[in-house]
Amino acid sequence: MIKIDNFIKIYERSFAENWDLPALTDYPTGKTQTYGEMATDIAVAHTLFKSIGLKPGDKVALCGKDSMRWVKIYMSVVTYGAVIVPILVDFNPVDITHIVNHSEADLLFVSEHVWEHIEPDALLRVKAVMSVENSKLLFERENLEITKDIKLLKRRFRNKYRNGYTATDVHYADRDNSQLVEINYTSGTTGFSKGVMLTGENLAGNVCFGMESQLHFRSSRALAFLPLAHAYGCAFDMLTPLAVGSHITLLCKTPSPRVLLKALAEVKPNLVICVPLILEKIYKNQILPMISRGAMRWTLAIPLLDSFIYSKIRKKLIDAFGGEFEEVIVGGAPLNHEVENFLHKIKFPFTVGYGMTECGPLISYTPWREFIPGSSGRTLPNMESMVLSDDPENIPGEICVRGTNVMRGYYKNTAATEMVLTDDGWLKTGDMGTRSADGTLFLRGRSKTMILSASGQNIYPEEIEAKLNNMPFVAESLVVERDGKLVALVYPEYDAIDRLGISGNQLDATMENVRKELNTLVAPYEQISKIILMPNEFEKTPKRSIKRFLYQN
């Protein structure tokens, strides 16, 4: 079992002990703050919160692009004892307004480009709105004197800390781990957004596991390029590094392949946290074309030569990620099996974890040297897992989990909570899979997307889509059931089609060849009857998952 510390006190201790170490850097500006400078800014924020009447347990919404200021606002709120409501900046203004109102937020920090599209009168409870970029007051309720409080802030802070703010002054809220710390609104593919209530215990469970596993360590380097408003990036690109004295560089811009590879080369992180899409794009666009050429394919069939070539590819890939990392942890979505098998074959140091927002997020993880391809790691020490199946090791069933990381429930949504949380604390994940005796989980797909074939076979469309997405000219796909048959909806890779001069008339024939090739790779009951071309990319959630419910009929 992992010892779970008080969530807020973890940071009280870390900020004081790591006072002179670099804490945060904005990329590419290079602007850096030490732990001491960050802690001082947090103390200033606490002074403001107190002067405007914010109380422990009050809600503060935060919607903006990742930056040093975003991190400091988040940490200021939770260490004050208030409840943070992080909102993905990609949510549309209507959804942002709804989340702010539904969460009963008293204060909103928002990027100014987002604020331009929000109607102040639609915010029902918010006392004030402040800019994420510079803390400028954007809106305040009538009869409040927040403008005055801001003007007096520096004087009040200096009067409180007449000898300057030092490491010995770092004292944060005394709140039990059972108290609510965060409400994180999901952007699920089923069309419903729910507020996941995460307590200090839930978040500390993730952070303490990361500390115990030494995913980050004092003075280690981290490059944060996943959205911090998402539970995965928040826990392991921000909360865990800050708990141990790591130096976090925040990408602060869209992680295009060119921008990301440049940042990785400069920062040289000691751990890389990423989503499958990054590795899948590198494999499909750079590795697959290289190893599929005639001469290369022939060379790889020769013993010893294949090992030499694979080691070259491995080194090139490791160098692309900065060259100094212990491992790449893949999470947030299933990793394509073909990509996974290739990375394992070349001994690339990667592992696949499994989690969900409702667990803040981690459920299972295994260090890369112990990782079993096809799995999602072992269930964490402070978590239990079971599979609802007569034969959990061989026959897939719904995965259920229980333990330290499991949420309290959905905010103001008892019905939704009762659908997923049992009376004895088990969380029904909605994911289908199997489980080995040592707690290692093997995911197959979502229970809601599983298709029952006419012959009674369970079909997991995600597994077919993974194969299809590796085919030439396929950018993304969805496998659905139409009139009792499997149909693939495909958004083509138009750049590749244009480069090769494939005409509209030839595209249908090209996709028919793709369909035939796919059907040689799947079971008879998984065969695709036809491919339907989509004119536009699939509509996605802010977390870049396809909204499957829009395409089911």
| Gap between the Cα atoms of 238 and 412, Å rounded | 28
10-residue mean pLDDT series, the chain (553 residues):
95 98 96 98 97 96 97 98 95 91 97 96 95 94 86 94 96 98 78 86 98 97 95 97 98 87 96 90 80 60 70 91 96 86 94 96 97 96 97 95 98 95 96 95 84 73 88 90 88 83 82 92 89 88 76 75
Q: What is the pLDDT of residue 190?
A: 46
pLDDT at 546: 83
CA angle 457, 460, 462 (to 5 degrees): 160
| Whole-number pLDDT of residue 483 | 81
Q: What is the pLDDT of residue 455?
A: 63
Q: How confident is the model at residue 213, as a pLDDT?
A: 96
**CA proximity to 79, closest of 14, 22, 11:** 11
Other beta carbons within 10 Å of 160: 14
> What values do phi and psi take at 489, rounded to 5?
-90, 125
Instruction: Give the pLDDT score at 459.
Output: 84
User: How far apart (Å, rounded) are the C-alpha atoms in residues 74 and 106?
Assistant: 15
DSSP secondary structure of 387-419: EESSSTTTS-EEEEEEETT---EETT-HHHHHH
User: In angstroms, rounded to a whole number, what is the distance separating the alpha carbons of residues 211 and 399?
Assistant: 26
User: Tokens 């305040």 — which residue?
Assistant: 140
DSSP three-state, residue 11: helix
Q: Which two tokens stand for residue 361?
A: 């997020």
What's the angle, vertex CA 343, arms to CA 384 and CA 318, rounded to 5? 105
What domains lie within the chain, and their CATH numbers?
Answer: 7-250 (3.40.50.980), 277-324+327-446 (3.40.50.12780), 455-551 (3.30.300.30)
